[in-house]
Structure 1
Amino acid sequence: MLDKKGVSYKLAVTLFAMLMTFSQSTSAATKVEKSKDDLNQIHERIEKLKKELDSNTEAHADATDALKESEKAISETNRKLYELSLQQKQNRANLQSLEQQKSGLESTIQQQKQLLGAQLYEQYLHGQQSYIQVVLQQQDPGAIARQLQYFAYVSRARAKLIDATQQNLGKVAKLNDQTAVALKEVTDLKANQEKERRELQSQKNERGTLLKKLSAKITAQRGEINKLKRDEKSLSDLVERLARAAAATPPPKRTPRKTDKTDTSKPQVPVGRNDTLPSNAFDGSNFAALKGKLNLPVRGEITNRFGAAREDTGISWKGLFIKSSEGSDVKSVASGRIVFADWLRGFGNLIIVDHGNGYMSLYGNNQALLKKVGDTVSGGDTVAEVGNSGGNDANGVYFELRYQSKPFDPLSWSSIR
């Protein structure tokens, strides 16, 4: 029989063990409940972010459509300005030609005036005597009539020449006035077009800024959603572990959460520079014979290689992006026919030249398209102006070469290596 002290000691130990087990179970259960509450909050936050993301994605699409319209309008306005510049240049050339004609006629008239003045002065001194001498000295009436007829013919010819010269001078003056009026109209119209272009450019800048903000917001929200999903998974795993260990002793140790790997990718280093523009030297040649001889469409820095992964999407490059100054001429690399000239999502203002036999060249992100579908072009012809349409950050031209619709490396066909 145990003494009272031994019984009391064993009872105390048993009670303490039961209390510890209960305490640990209660603690684990409390952790489970708290983790479930945290999990519910994460669920709610994810759903809220998804709704905001849907709204911002829709707003981004609307902003992209608005930017598309702005860039198409700017392209059309720039094309009209280009045509007006050509018309203005032609009008100035016409005006200069008319000025030269007018100057020549005025010189001729001045000579005729001097000759006429001398003739009139001579006639004034000797004219009456000459007529009298003709009448008195000639005995033959027929000779008198012929001489008088000669005088009349000379007088009529002189008057006719003066009248014709004056009429020509009047015509030149009239054409001069008409050309000057046309030149003023073109100048005024060009000024209005310039004003419209500036307003459209301002709208484009505003919409581009909005688009960038929405893109950044969407990227941030997607990043937060992905992070929350990772947190949700980690927390779900923890809840399951805690639930399984709620009755166990000791409670399970919490495993540390894995951190995200940092992006060690580096921006691509520029691969080269182009300083030579296309020309019409190979017009008439089969495009397939131009391999290794082509010049790129603009002067500038080549920022990528064909087939390399894009930094923004990871998708392989199907062409080259050449950084260049805004408004610079974009040249057709060879002769051909324009088969597309419009705005296209992801490419902005895009122009495509068909070179025949399945070969095509593409020029994207332009500020303005200067040719229309159906136009024929020679190598070296200006087809567009450099810009950043399509939501691009930098000014430049996206350039592709395709055969039977499949892209191939432009550098392999270029004189640049």
Structure 2
Amino acid sequence: MSGAGSLSSLRVLGSATLACLALLAGGSAGAQSISTLTKQQQNAEQLRRDLQEKISEVQKRIDESESDRKDVTESLRQSETEISRLNARLDDLDSQRDKTERELDDLRKEQGGQQALMEQRREELAEQLKSQYTHGVSPWAALLSGDDAQKIGRDLTYLSYVAKARTQAVVALNTEIARLDAVKKKVADHQKTLQGLADEAEKNKADLEQEKQKHAAVLARVEADLTARRSQASKLARDDKRLNALIDDIQSSIVKQREAIRRAAIEREAREAARRKALQQAREQAARQAAQQAALAARRAEQAARQAQAAREAEQRAYMTAEEQTEALRRARENAPSAGAGVQPAPDLNAASRSAAAAREQLAQARIQRENLEIDREKARLARLRAEEQVQLAQKAREDERKAAAEASSGSAGLQRGAPWPVRGSVQGRFGTPRPDTGDVWRGILIRAGSGTPVKAVGSGNVVYASWVQGFGNLIIVEHQNGYLSVYGYNQSLSKRVGDRVRIGETIARVGATGGQVDPGLYFEIRQGSTPVDPVSWLAR
């Protein structure tokens, strides 16, 4: 092979090796993915094999060539770097010149506008002075006119307004003059800047031409000197050593990243397990408290029932006593002798009357006590029912969560029959029944729940609407794959945005009282296309 061919092969090999090493060295950062590092490792291994083959070939040719040529690679690199820098600087100067010329055009336009505005202010001031002079209006003329005092006062008032207007015109004129001077200064500065850019561009062009000549000379030496470069073998050996070190570094990075990923997965699983455990403990605690409240409410209801029964028995006894006393009073009246006017009733009759009155008073008090205890018993019964309902709702909510988790893990798409409820609570508005607030019928259901309670998606899908709507407050709509929509209204806040993908059982909002509502709750609809359907028929029993 000729010396020129050997020179070309060495030059291409050296440039390619340096470029690949620079690329791989720049890409070995720890933030890269394992797949990227693996690909870099494979590329580096292939490059090492190619490099070792070239080393053997070059060493053989070097042994056959002269070895006393000067290494001019560094000079060539410096020359080419300087040419690149000068070209970049010229491009930057062209960009600055274009920008400065555009700004200069804008300033000249602004200068013309300011000049016209200043002429307008001068004309306005001249017109004022001319008008005042033509009509002979001045403070001395008014004072020496001999007119009555009221007319002189009016003239002087008018003159004060004229003086203020003239003062304002003068101030405006001075302002426009100052602005014009500032614009002129900017124009001069930009012209000076343009001249400086032009001078620098000329100097850089001259430097570029000189550097190109230098580069041509260096390149000529390279073409002559690179025919035999004994130092190429040692250089390639150094490149091979650097490449081996880089491959080791990539492998170390892969190992570290895999370990970091493994540890992060363990920590993430531990946090998730702790979160699930804490959530489960909170739910169990809430269930225990609800059960305790239900038991307490049941005991109170039973106690209230016993007290009400005792009050009814006491009332019955008071009633019997009142009947007996009334009968005794009737007999006493029958047995009492007739008495004329002014004769006092018999003592037995008086005693019977007092006993009957006391018995009636006792009966009235017993009835009041019995009625109060009946009211307390009914309150206790309602409290027991509410506590039992809360226990049932909590149990059903846990069942909803288990069902949602099972369906999410199974990968089922769309809305399914027996879906978990969006929130558990008492249903106060039923599908198809009249609405007392609008006179229309319910197209969904109203579920009463505490403010801030999480609202869950009843099926997987995409959020197609999430905003405030009059009458429905903060509204979110989820589109399911099988052509159904689920609608959630009156929310305190929305947790998802349009375009978000949601899973069944995922929190998408919080219960609130927006849209004109008084009590917190969730308005929930299911629609097949645009047609409302009874949502209860789709939800778990």
- TM-score if structure 1 supplies the norm length? 0.36
Relative CO higher for 1 or 2, CA cutoff 8 Å, sep ≥ 6? Answer: 1
Higher strand share: 1
- TM-score if structure 2 supplies the norm length? 0.29
Which of these two proteins has the greater Rg computed from alpha carbons?
2
Higher helix share: 2
